[in-house]
Amino acid sequence: MIKLAETILNGLALGSVYALIALGFVVIFKASGVMNFAHGSLLLFGGYVTARLHDTIGFLPAVLVGAALAAALAGLVQLLATRGLRGAEIHTLTILTIGIDVLLSTELNRRVGADFLSMGDPWGADVTQLGDITVADSRIASIAVAIVVISVFFAAFRWSRWGLSMRSAAADPEAASLMGIRLDRVRLIAWCVAGALAALAAVFLAAFPAAGLDRTTSQIALSAFPAAILGGMDSAVGALVGSLVIGLTAAMAAGYQSELSALGSGFSDVAPYLVMVLVLLVRPTGLFGSKELTRV
């Protein structure tokens, strides 16, 4: 029972980090229709900046600078994609993000090298006892920070002018443009928000019990991709629910790996994708995705 409780807590912590990443995928897709395959590189970039600066300016300022620079880089990618390929099809812009990911990841991998970079977080390897349950402080921090950040995101999405513009642009871009909504600005802000969320997620992906930030961190970030697909690529609520489902699935598969040995030693790696496929077979648009309607 204790092992089950610890596994669920770990799954919720992992799901909260995935939610930050999955929201980035979703907000970009809603704003511009682009599947951003450079998201993992943006995450690694934000984490790298934080890792390099925390000794000099402190942990929290380093996180803020990392998030700001990741947001700026994401905005630059959006400007290059839309200004350089104005009028191009959406799938062309999506393919462009693959090329940008290769360029960014190659340079960042060279800079990170083979070492693990410390993020300088204040939680370190500390753990907390909740009765008989032992949980890492970094896990608790990831859940708390994700709740605050995601709450702020949903509040802005629901009540701010940007959120209203974003929802209008996602529902009908042409009508939104005719109503005076500047789509370029809405999309630019969406990309910047996604970049900042990715940088924040990097802090917790590299925290204890992980050894630190390394070249594979961006690949781990792509584990959040099934969460966005599972929830529905155009649903922020779906991204949140999908992230919790994928996080719990990954934690349960890893925690009970020995009992699931008949399914293979790497089953925990494929379990989230298996869940995603099973859900998509029943609901092709994801749990909360919008169905495309055609009037005849």
Q: Say if CB 139 and CB 13 are below 8 A apart.
A: yes
Which one-letter amino acid corresponds to residue 254?
Answer: A
CB contact set of 87 (below 8 Å; sequence gap of 6+)? none
Cα–Cα distances (Å) from 49 to 62, 135, 224, 226, in that order, read 7, 28, 22, 27
Q: What six digits make up the tokens of 9?
A: 């807590």
For residue 136, how many C-alpha atoms fall within 13 Å in the half-sphere facing its CB? 19
Q: Which residues of the chain have pLDDT under 70?
A: 84-88, 221, 291-296
Which DSSP state fits 292? P
Residue 161 is predicted with a pLDDT of 85
Residue 86 is predicted with a pLDDT of 67
**Residue among 207, 160, 163, 221 nearest 63 (CA):** 207
Residue 180 is predicted with a pLDDT of 79
Cα–Cα distance, 38 to 202 (Å, whole number): 14
Cα–Cα distance, 91 to 110 (Å, whole number): 29
Burial of 196 (0-12, 13-18, 19+ CB in 10 A): buried
Q: Kindly list the domain boundaries of the chain, sorted by start residue.
A: 1-214
Residue 287 is predicted with a pLDDT of 79
Number of other residues whose CB lies within 10 A of the CB of residue 131: 7
**DSSP string over 115-162:** SPBP---TTTT-EEEETTEEEEHHHHHHHHHHHHHHHHHHHHHHHSHH
Residue 222 is predicted with a pLDDT of 74
